[in-house]
Structure 1
Amino acid sequence: MNKKHLLALAIAGGMSTQTQAAIEVYNEDGTQFSVDGYFNAFYVNRDDKLSDVRQSRVKMGFLPNTIGFNFSKEMGELTLGGRSSFWTTINDSLDSPTDTSIDVRQFYATVDGSFGQVLIGKDFGLYSRNNIFLDEILMGFGSPGAPGGVSFGNIRTGYAYPTPSAQITYRSPDLGGLKIAAGVLDPATTSGADGYEEAPRFESEITYAMSLGEVDLTTWVNGRYQSSESDTTNTTVDSTAVGYGMKASVAGLTLAASGYTADGDAPVLITNQAVALEEESEDGYLLQGAYTLGATKLVLSYGETDSDVGDFETENTTIGLFHDVNSNLKVVAEYNMFEQTTKSTGADAADADTIAVGAIVLF
């Protein structure tokens, strides 16, 4: 497995991450410690058709710059492990000079054995996990995002974000290609500022990988459920969501399709809400094709989201070219077309074409 796949797995977390980092710092007497890193920057030129302006920036891509630390220690029949990763923006200096925002999206410990794995701490959620981490433009740029932060890739144009959360999660061993994960996560208040949750948030994901002749096939389904109540307004918001997808590869060709549907859920990422969410639906899908020839990969991507809760419809088209200069250096060129419409009024909320050219260094 090459380093770009190792990085994607390390970012996804929830496994014995010490085997994935490229730099091993210590490995003696059953104890291992390793470090991995991801650095990127893109020249971005955006044609904003609504405001009729063209803006140039130097920004991060869909993934922030990251450094991660991994450890494991063999203790009889158990292996104790852990990961901490620090994600930083490179685009906040013009607002707060010399001040860099750093967030910790992973800080967890793991216990591995013949039974599988138990993870305790903070990690990405299970719902929408494979939807985003198997996205062909994960290391690219994608749709516009926050001015001082990362781009959004296909978040809100095909899938929601698996918000890093405090959790206790169980993962099964590999059962002939079948892997099952289920966890209890810190719930988000969706019934308003005075809301409360009697039960945690429940999330799960089932993944099945197999080979059919020369075709490598991966399928998955994931989900989320939680309930939030407010005695003040006599409101109960039940949030349910299901994500799914399939990815097939043969020779240099990869085809992928994924989607999701949700009710009473935040449309982009799950967070505490000051005002109760309505139990209205949203759904989205993402279609992608990729062809790899030698060290170069061409990606075509199209996604849509229709959200009653967020009152928007979006569509996003990306053409991307990824080239591995070597195992630690990648160059990327993308052309992205993003549109957003306000559902209640039919008015255009965004219409922008973006050219992004960048480089990625990883170890």
Structure 2
Amino acid sequence: MQKQTHNRRGIRHLVAASAALISSTSAQAIEIQAGDWKFTANGNVNVHYIHSSCDNDGTAPVAGGLACIGSAGEDDSSSVSDGLLPAALVFGASTTQNDWDISANFGFYPGISTNDGGSPNLGGTNTALGTTGLDVRQVYMTFGKKDLGTFMLGRNFGLFGFDAIISDMTISGVGAGNGNYAAPANTSLGSIGLGYIYVDTLAQMNYTTPDFSGFKATIGIFDPVEPILQGAPTPKAAPGVHGKLAYTAGAVYLSATFLEQKQEGVIAGEDYTSRGFDAGGKLTFGAAELMAYYYAGKGLGTTGLFLLSDDGAGHARDSDGFLAQATYKFGATKVGVNYGESNLDLADGEASSNLVKKNSKVTAGVYHSLTKNLTLLAEFSDVKAKAHDDTKNKSNSFNVGAFLSF
């Protein structure tokens, strides 16, 4: 029971750390030329009213389930918070020297929820006289040439799961509401753990090829990260490895990624290897867009990288999931719906328990571009969690708010 309580606490902490990706792909709001250097800045501010109706019928919480559970006799919860993204301010500096294009990049991600210490994504006591936190997610350099490709070194968003979250329509909104808001965190779930695994920001060294008739490939290593809630950290003999192949042709975008990392247990018998891949893409035709992504892995875990990835004794668990989405634009207004689920199997020989078997979510949303930079939006999400022993939780959330990018 204690381990399950720790798992639930770890899930709440993890899902609060969702990605701030709009700023990393948007056009630069500010460009200043100073000699041979160009300095850029862009970012976003987003604010939402979120109301969640949590499960409070006395059913035990699913360990690793993402449907929120009522507490202190209350099953309804309200917050004025950031959504899937925290606010962001991203700076860049670039130049060309000796025919090499080089850049340095820094990404700062504050939230609006009170946090008086520790990780800005873990939430805290929401009292007066509080302050928010600052999350530094990006610190990296790039150098390359058009006909040679580009090297990227530093802390940046990973490859696995990146295209799924950046294509998720809830990235400018809230998606799954992330539970009880007596202690709100900086971010909500979106569809993290409900169709894809969180991309995360990782220390890494990558190489990306030039464009070959629409194809680009990336290969690199990343700082090996510890499985969440799996005990004391252990040295890793080798880095993690990841790669990506992407194809763009007009209205068609396709991609596939993989990652692999050796997990070292406290004793040799607890060692195992985590492997995962994802594949999917987007198709745009006129005002309509269809998107679908699928992932699968062994020792990969669910919701976040290597969360609940084994049984605690080195026996890896299989997992998979998918997200499917359709949107349509009526002038300045986009409507959309997506459905996703993430599945986690028991390890070989593992006894049935209230460990999560499936998290699933459906979201319907309306997004209206009041201006080219300001979007007003509303969403409704329904979340379900099912355990291997057939324990079930369910919750829903509604949000309305605004997203300003610059």
With the length of structure 2 as denominator, give the TM-score of the two structures: 0.80
User: Which 5+ residue runs of structure 2 have no aligned equivalent?
Assistant: 1-19, 57-69, 116-124, 347-354
Report deviation, 1:233: 5.0
Residues 194/292 of structure 1: CA separation in 2 closer, same or farther (3 Å cut): closer
Residues 357/313 of structure 1: CA separation in 2 closer, same or farther (3 Å cut): same
Paired residues of 1:189 and 1:197 also in contact (CA < 8 A)? no
Separation (CA, whole Å) in 2 of partners of 1:292 and 1:41: 23
Does 1:31 find its partner at 2:37? yes
Report deviation, 1:195: 2.7
Separation (CA, whole Å) in 2 of partners of 1:125 and 1:276: 27
Residues 277/125 of structure 1: CA separation in 2 closer, same or farther (3 Å cut): farther
Does 1:44 find its partner at 2:53? no
Does 1:60 find its partner at 2:82? yes
Match of 1:326, SS state, is coil
Higher strand share: 1
**Aligned counterpart in structure 2 of residue 319 of structure 1, from 364, 370, 376:** 364
Deviations 1:114-152 (A, max 9, x none): 311101110011111111112222111111326323111
Paired residues of 2:103 and 2:141 also in contact (CA < 8 A)? yes
Deviations 1:185-237 (A, max 9, x none): 000234752533211000111110113xxxx1111101110112235353211
Q: 1:75 matched to which residue of 2? A: 97
Q: 1:239 matched to which residue of 2? A: 274
Paired residues of 2:300 and 2:307 also in contact (CA < 8 A)? no
Amino acid paired to 2:391 = A
Paired residues of 2:362 and 2:382 also in contact (CA < 8 A)? yes
Q: 1:4 matched to which residue of 2? A: none
Does 1:193 find its partner at 2:232? yes
Residues 238/271 of structure 1: CA separation in 2 closer, same or farther (3 Å cut): closer
Tell me whether 184-193 or 88-97 shows the greater mean CA deviation. Answer: 88-97
Bigger RCO (CA 8 Å, 6+ sep) = 2
Q: 2:262 matched to which residue of 1? A: 227
Q: 1:282 matched to which residue of 2? A: 319
Deviations 1:2-44 (A, max 9, x none): xxxxx956425xxxx8xx31112x2143310011121011011
Residues 230/88 of structure 1: CA separation in 2 closer, same or farther (3 Å cut): same
Does 1:103 find its partner at 2:165? no
Paired residues of 1:263 and 1:279 also in contact (CA < 8 A)? yes
Paired residues of 1:188 and 1:272 also in contact (CA < 8 A)? no
Q: Percent identity?
A: 26
Report deviation, 1:49: 3.6
Amino acid paired to 2:24 = I
Deviations 1:215-274 (A, max 9, x none): x11111011101122353532110000011021000000011111001112312226999
Separation (CA, whole Å) in 2 of partners of 1:33 and 1:271: 37
User: Which 5+ residue runs of structure 1 have no aligned equivalent?
Assistant: 1-6
Report deviation, 1:164: 0.6
Matches within 5 A, 1:246-257: 246-257=281-292
Separation (CA, whole Å) in 1 of partners of 2:307 and 2:386: 25
Residues 314/277 of structure 1: CA separation in 2 closer, same or farther (3 Å cut): farther
Separation (CA, whole Å) in 2 of partners of 1:56 and 1:98: 18
Deviations 1:34-83 (A, max 9, x none): 11121011011122243462222111111111111111011121111021
Tell me whether 133-142 or 237-246 shows the greater mean CA deviation. Answer: 133-142
Q: 1:3 matched to which residue of 2? A: none
Match of 2:169, SS state, is coil
Matches within 5 A, 1:129-168: 129-145=162-178, 147-168=184-205
Separation (CA, whole Å) in 1 of partners of 2:264 and 2:360: 33
Matches within 5 A, 1:78-89: 78-89=100-111
**Deviation >4 Å, runs of 4+:** 7-10, 271-277
Report deviation, 1:322: 0.6
Tell me whether 89-98 or 157-166 shows the greater mean CA deviation. Answer: 89-98
Does 1:112 find its partner at 2:183? no
Separation (CA, whole Å) in 1 of partners of 2:190 and 2:220: 26
Residues 267/111 of structure 1: CA separation in 2 closer, same or farther (3 Å cut): same
Paired residues of 1:38 and 1:66 also in contact (CA < 8 A)? yes
Residues 39/340 of structure 1: CA separation in 2 closer, same or farther (3 Å cut): same
Amino acid paired to 2:197 = A
Does 1:206 find its partner at 2:245? yes
Separation (CA, whole Å) in 2 of partners of 1:137 and 1:287: 13
Tell me whether 48-57 or 314-323 shows the greater mean CA deviation. Answer: 48-57
Amino acid paired to 1:116 = G
Paired residues of 1:194 and 1:232 also in contact (CA < 8 A)? no
Paired residues of 1:281 and 1:308 also in contact (CA < 8 A)? yes
Q: 2:338 matched to which residue of 1? A: 301
